[in-house]
Amino acid sequence: MPSLPQPPRPASTPAAVPPRLAAGKLNKSALYEQVAERLRARILAHTLAPGQWLDEQALAADYGISRTPLREALKVLATEGLVTMKLRRGAYVTETSERDLAEVYHLLALLESDAARVVAANATAEQLAELEALHQQLEAEVGHRERFFELNEQFHHRLLEMADNRWRNQMVADLRKVMKLNRHHSLFKQGRLDASLKEHRQIVAALKARNPERAQQLMQHHFANGEKAATMT
């Protein structure tokens, strides 16, 4: 039996392109991740202060979204330690106590000192030269607070990348977010900047000498001194 002719298919309609949103609004792809990114930046910049209650209704209105993606974003930030969820009270920017900072520095000392040990043993000459160059930039930017802070983070970040353990890198990234909740960076306490630079010089020297045990010990000492400065009133 001959088949019946099929009706012509309607022409496909291209997906509608969402209109450009205002500067304060968000587009719809991975919405909760975008919300989390914006809130994270505000928390780390302290425009949302430690201990501050996060008004879901006001935030949703600011971003032009419903409360569902906002709540998903808050859950993400809670897993990072940046937001604290309180039963029947909502979400608050996490406040860091002296104990919190001590515990974070303790873990960072363990993780980053092990990374220093690995780099001293396994890094290429080019990688060691890169770390030394980053340290030289640190020395040159000592009078420029924000740039110095960025370079200091970059030095530690590159050392971790060279040690090449993605699980350690993720743990360190989360711990450093919590550390940044402390309103006063320990690097800029009285005398800490010069001491930190001296410690970096010693770490770089141990890395170049390919002395894993010495590099590990010096990095632990570096974080122990950072903890003292961070918790000092």
Domain boundary among 44, 75, 93: 93
User: What radius of gyration do the chain's Cα atoms show?
Assistant: 24
Domain of 84, CATH number, reads: 1.10.10.10
CB contact set of 180 (below 8 Å; sequence gap of 6+): 44
pLDDT tens digits along 38-65? 999 999 888 999 999 999 999 999 999 9
Rounded Cα gap, residues 108 and 95, in angstroms: 19
Q: Which helix (H) or strand (E) holds 3?
A: none
Domain boundary among 76, 93, 110: 93
Q: Same structural domain for residues 130 and 219?
A: yes
For the entire predicted model, the pTM comes to 0.75
Q: Same structural domain for residues 38 and 57?
A: yes
CB contact set of 229 (below 8 Å; sequence gap of 6+): 186, 187, 189, 192
- Residue 127's domain spans which residues? 98-231
Question: What is the torsional sign of CA 147, 227, 229, 50?
Answer: positive
Count up the domains in the chain and report the number.
2
Q: Same structural domain for residues 178 and 123?
A: yes
Rounded Cα gap, residues 96 and 127, in angstroms: 35
Would you give per-residue pLDDT tens digits along the chain (233 residues)? 444 444 444 444 433 333 333 445 555 548 999 999 999 999 988 899 999 999 999 999 999 999 999 999 999 999 988 999 998 899 999 998 889 889 999 999 999 999 999 999 999 999 999 999 999 999 999 888 888 888 999 999 999 999 999 999 999 999 998 888 875 566 666 677 888 899 999 999 999 999 999 999 999 999 999 888 887 75
